[in-house]
Amino acid sequence: MKSLEELRAIKAATLNKIGICNDDADAVKVLVGMATCGIAAGARPILNAFTEEIEKRHLKNVAVSQTGCIGICQYEPIVEVYVGKEEKVTYVKMTAEKVARIVNDHIVNGNVVTEYTIGAATINK
């Protein structure tokens, strides 16, 4: 790294890539919590299930990625889905069976699967 300008160029280029903060309203980012807590609770099969389901449906605008500890370890495995600029949706206690429904209902058809989200779990009770 020779200069701050070079660093900022990388920043701009990455921001433009799918996911973190781009303007494409169709871009979808799926983040799977893969810290020790998530992996112990079974996050790896979830990540694989997402990749397979997205492959099967030939979805081009969806990026699946791992991330660190989201914080509510009790509800692992946790998956957060970001669609364009919309507010992220937090799915908790994920299973491979839930993945297909989330891809179909939420990612493809834009209907959040409320019963799998954090609000349906007991977190607020």
Distance CA 116, CA 113 (A): 6
Using rule CB under 8 A, residue 45 touches another protein: no
Distance CA 91, CA 119 (A): 9
Which of 18, 35, 41, 96 forms a contact with another protein (CB under 8 A)?
35
Which of 30, 58, 77, 97 forms a contact with another protein (CB under 8 A)?
58
What contacts 118, CB < 8 A, 6 or more positions away?
72, 75, 90, 91, 92
**Distance of closest approach, residue 48 Cβ to another protein, in angstroms:** 16
Task: Burial-class residue 73 by CB neighbours within 10 Å (0-12, 13-18, 19+).
Answer: middle
Using rule CB under 8 A, residue 10 touches another protein: yes
Which of 41, 51, 80, 96 forms a contact with another protein (CB under 8 A)?
80
Which of 24, 36, 45, 95 forms a contact with another protein (CB under 8 A)?
36
Using rule CB under 8 A, residue 96 touches another protein: no
The smaller minimum CB distance to another protein, of residues 96 and 112, is found at: 112
Using rule CB under 8 A, residue 87 touches another protein: yes
CA distances from 56 to 50, 74, 91, 94, 108 (A): 10, 31, 21, 20, 13
The phi and psi torsions of 104 (rounded to 5 degrees) equal -65, -55
Using rule CB under 8 A, residue 120 touches another protein: yes
Residue numbers of the site for another protein (CB under 8 A)?
Answer: 1-4, 7-8, 10-11, 13-15, 17, 20-21, 26, 31, 33, 35-37, 39, 56-60, 65-75, 80, 87-90, 103-105, 108-112, 114, 117-120, 122-125
